[in-house]
Amino acid sequence: MLIALVLIAAQLFAFETEKVFQGKNLQQWVKELDSDPEVSRKIVIISALGMFDLQALPVLEKLALNSDQEIRTKSISTLQQMGKIAVPTLAKISTNGPKGARLLALTAIAGLGEDAVVALAELCILTSHFDKDTKLRALAALGTLGTQGYPALPFLIESFQSPERDIAELALRSMAQVCGWGNNQPGGDLIEASMKLAPAKGEPGVLVLAKLLKNKDAEVRIRAAILLGGMGAKASKAMPALQDALQDKNEKVIDAAFDAILKIKP
């Protein structure tokens, strides 16, 4: 008898707590969508789906890949309005979706600012995308992460070194944002200035410098090794990268890496 009462109470609780919007639950909204109404009604339904939080993400992800531009745009706009819970879905679309959906998703991520920091890894990868529009939007989105985007510095520096002026200029703007410079950029070598911030960042800074040991510019690689050596034992997680740097083609890089290894593990 007691077990039966508990089961009934659980069912009543589930019924009472099921999310409903305008008198319909998620399944009812999806069912209406599947009935293939006019596009104008689909747009209304897509807006309603945004009220169901995590449960609606798979449906909105599928709609974001729809061939109809209006449906695609509304779906990604709805994901953006849902905020940080939708960022992984937007990141997935920006990585795997067709160009139209990809660009819209990247714009949505940029619009979420620091709330989109969980998309950092995907944005970094997209800075080297074969499609230039994708690359530019990824660079812009990284800048909107503010100082939380500092781990992307190696990718921003690489883009800053691009011979294409628009890419280099956008990378510089985003680099200033993740370094927290705002409109007060330091004088002198901006790459070096950005790297000098790394030791104060702790482990994320160590990983940034370790990544910069692979930069195409030997001077950047040398500076990264010197900064790591200056951190002593705190830079221990960079040891594999420093050991790889001992195979560098530039003798000065090898010397700097060897010196850093001695300082980290004397």
pLDDT of residue 266: 66
Question: What is the rounded distance in angstroms from the CA atom of residue 67 to the CA atom of residue 72?
Answer: 7
Q: Which position has the higher pLDDT, 5 or 106?
A: 106
Confidence check: pLDDT of 18 > 80: no
8 Å CB contact between 253 and 225: yes
pLDDT of residue 9: 47
Mean pLDDT across 177-203: 93
Confidence check: pLDDT of 4 > 70: no
Question: What is the rounded distance in angstroms from the CA atom of residue 32 to the CA atom of residue 28?
Answer: 6
Mean pLDDT across 107-111: 98
Mean pLDDT across 200-222: 97
* 156 band by pLDDT with thresholds 50, 70 and 90: very high
Confidence check: pLDDT of 39 > 70: yes
Q: Which position has the higher pLDDT, 184 or 157?
A: 157
Domain boundaries, the chain: 197-266
- Residues of the chain with pLDDT > 90, as a percent, come to 87
Confidence check: pLDDT of 6 > 50: no
Question: What is the rounded distance in angstroms from the CA atom of residue 79 to the CA atom of residue 88?
Answer: 10
Mean pLDDT across 216-232: 97
Confidence check: pLDDT of 172 > 60: yes
Measured over the CA atoms of residue 204, residue 206, residue 210 and residue 212, the dihedral's sign is positive
Highest CATH level, class, for 197-266:
mainly alpha
pTM reported for the whole predicted model = 0.89
Chain-centroid distance of CA 164 in Å reads 23
* 16 band by pLDDT with thresholds 50, 70 and 90: very low
Written as six digits, the tokens of 75 are 């779906």
Among 3-7, 94-98, 201-205, 229-233, whose mean pLDDT is lowest? 3-7
pLDDT tens track for 61-88: 999 999 999 999 999 999 999 999 999 9
